[in-house]
Amino acid sequence: MAKEKIMTIKYYILVGLLLLSLFVALIYNKKVNHLKNVTKVTKTETKTEAVKPEEVVPAVPEDLPLDSDIVKELGAKVHGFDTVKAGSYYGYFYKQDYLDQKGISDDAKIAIGITQNPNFSSDFINATYEAVAPDGTKLNVIILAKEEIDEGINSFLGPSTAYQTVNLADAETAYCGFSGFKFDETRNVYMNNPISCTGFPQDYIDTKLIKATQIGDILELTYKIAYIKYDVLSADSVIKNVYRNNGYNFIEKHDILIDNSYEIDNILNKLDSFKFTFKLHSNNYFYFEKVEKIK
């Protein structure tokens, strides 16, 4: 009897342990499932869609009227070196196949600044002053303040363009153009002898604007250029020689006293093309970036 009682107690203990184990297992399984659901929800909530980068729409080239104000304004800026009055800077923009701001020398920057002066086209008539040479001789000189040169340079190449104050290339010669300015450190001015190029006829570079294009903040002007050189054979014979380059690659000639048929439009297919590039800056103004020879 005692033995049967002991067996009954063991049986109840075993059943109790089994029930307890089952209860613990159920609780553990419920917690595991809850954690899985929480993790799943968290992952779902933190999942974000990839942001697609905005599509960059390339600027569409726009052909501008060749007689538009901005085209005429910028075109006028690049022709300062197209006459023999430029001396050593004659044809400066066409001497190489590529030229950008970094390639422009200090003296050329100053020469550019001079060509942007409001009085440039009239040979600086309003900038001529009487002066006295060291030997007491009275003479007329052209005086341009350094600030005027700075203003001209900045209007072409952009604000605060850096350069060194130096003499121009023909400062030590009696050249008849504007390429002989010297810098006077004592007065912080540029001075030149107002010698006019009065001889006739004078060599020059003939240009033809054939295209003006704007692409976003870039404006491009494309020119055909022809070099004109004169030979005065006699009072009755003056020959106009037309070249593709400065003094070589001859194209045609005309005796201007009897033959006035020269037209650049007739020889465009024989001439080189140069493209000037200007870029719009934050002050809403276009400045020179580069010039390059194109096919």
- CB of 196 within 8 A of CB of 123? yes
- State the pLDDT confidence band at 43, using cuts at 50, 70 and 90: very low
User: Hey, what are 266's tokens?
Assistant: 């007739």
pLDDT (0 to 100) of residue 118? 87
How confident is the model at residue 126, as a pLDDT? 80
CA distance 240 to 256: 6
Candidates 200, 203, 277; CA nearest to 247 is: 203
Q: Which residue has the higher pLDDT, 24 or 202?
A: 202
* Nearest of 206, 175, 220 to residue 271 by alpha carbon: 206
Q: Which residues are bridge partners to 230 per DSSP? A: 240
Instruction: Compute the mean pLDDT over every residue in the chain, rounded to the nearest whole number.
Output: 85
Tell me which residue has tokens 């003094």. 247
* Phi and psi torsions of 50, nearest 5°: -65, 130
- In 3D space, the residue among 113, 37, 122 whose CA is nearest the CA of residue 77 turns out to be 113
What string of DSSP letters covers 262-274? --GGGGGGGSEEE
Give 170-188 pLDDT, tens digit per residue.
999 888 889 999 999 999 9
- Burial grade of 221 (CB within 10 A; 0-12, 13-18, 19 or more): buried
221 forms beta bridges with: 212, 276
Q: How far apart are CA 149 and CA 219, in angstroms?
A: 25
Q: How far apart are CA 57 and CA 161, in angstroms?
A: 32
3-state class of 216 per DSSP? coil
Structure tokens at 202: 């004078």
From CA 126, how far away is CA 114, in angstroms rounded?
14
Number of neighbours of residue 183 by Cβ within 10 angstroms: 19
Full 3-state SS string of 117-137: CCCHHHCCHHHEEEEECCCCC
Is the pLDDT higher at 158 or at 55? 158
pLDDT at 46: 47
DSSP letter at 173 equals S
> How many other CB atoms sit within 10 Å of the CB of residue 226?
22
The closest of 280, 210, 206, 266 to 66, measured between CA atoms, is 210
Phi, psi of 146, rounded to the nearest 5 degrees:
-55, -35
pLDDT at 207 over 90: yes
Q: What is the rounded CA–CA span in Å between residue 249 and residue 205?
A: 14
Position 137 scores a pLDDT of 80
Q: Give the pairing type, strands 218-234 and 98-100.
A: unpaired
Q: How confident is the model at residue 29 (pLDDT cuts 50, 70, 90)?
A: low
- 93-127 per-position pLDDT tens digit: 999 999 999 999 999 999 999 999 988 887 787 88
- In terms of pTM, does the model score above 0.85? no
DSSP state, 80?
Answer: T
pLDDT above 70 covers what percent of the chain?
A: 81
